[in-house]
Amino acid sequence: MNENQYLVDELTVKDTWRMFHFLSEFVEGFETMPKVYPAVSIFGSARISPKSASYKMAEKIAVSLVKNGFNIITGGGPGIMEAANRGAAKAGGRSVGLHIHLPNEQKPNKYANVRLDFRYFFIRKVMFVKYAVAYIIMPGGFGTLDELFESITLIQTKRIRSFPVVLIDSNYWKGLIDWIKGTMIKEKTISEQDLDIFELVDDPDEAVEIIKRRVIV
């Protein structure tokens, strides 16, 4: 057997057995997540300090959402995720931490009262979108952008039902929104109507009102 054939065989065997890991994570998620419906997924940077305005705003939004009958879903880590789980706990609500195993940053916070562990991002992302009635997008990095654009794409292509996608902090998101309007719409790679998929606000109460107005619980 030559080296290339050995590598192909190795990949085939490992990928075949990996399917059982996929299945176990899906099953655990599908059995757990319906218990926290209706829930709002809150995304944002793991690097944001508890002293920051964004952290405090995420906590406040989570408190308000719980008081209005919603549960909370986060990635279960520090920063914005911790703030949202903390707010839910403060309000006496249920919140999920969808913890992902990463070499850096992602250590589970202590505030989520429901926790699931994942090795695979794509399975975790299914849980975020399948069991959410809305998305709150706080300031964040590549992971936050990934969740934002995936939700917009799925709604745009009608692969999922339309639900509120609310970006918080116009100062943070202004450059991105300006680029979308000035480049993507100008080049006609998206339509102007696609901008209606998401909303940009600064007031946490307004964010909650948008969700309450569009989602019946």
The rounded distance, in Å, linking the Cα atoms of 92 and 216 is 21
Whether the CB-CB separation of 199 and 189 falls below 8 Å is answered with: no
Question: In the structure encoding, which two tokens stand for residue 212, read together?
Answer: 């309450």
- 3-state SS of 18-68? HHHHHHHHHHHHHHHHHHHCCEEEEECCCCCCCCCHHHHHHHHHHHHHHHC
Q: Is 77 left (phi over 0), alpha (psi -120 to 50) or beta?
A: beta
pLDDT tens, residue by residue, 116-126: 999 999 999 99
Distance of CA 78 to the CA centre of its chain: 14
Model confidence at 105: pLDDT above 80: no
The rounded distance, in Å, linking the Cα atoms of 132 and 70 is 10
Mean pLDDT throughout 35-50? 96
pLDDT, residue 3, reads 54
* Residue 133: closest CA among 157, 166, 109: 166
Q: Which domains does the chain have, with CATH numbers?
A: 33-214 (3.40.50.450)
- Where does the pLDDT of residue 7 fall: very low under 50, low under 70, confident under 90, or very high at 90 and above? very low
The rounded distance, in Å, linking the Cα atoms of 4 and 178 is 48
Model confidence at 81: pLDDT above 90: yes
Mean pLDDT throughout 131-160? 97
The rounded distance, in Å, linking the Cα atoms of 103 and 75 is 15
Model confidence at 14: pLDDT above 50: yes
Report which DSSP code applies to 101. -
pLDDT, residue 216, reads 73
Mean pLDDT throughout 126-132? 97
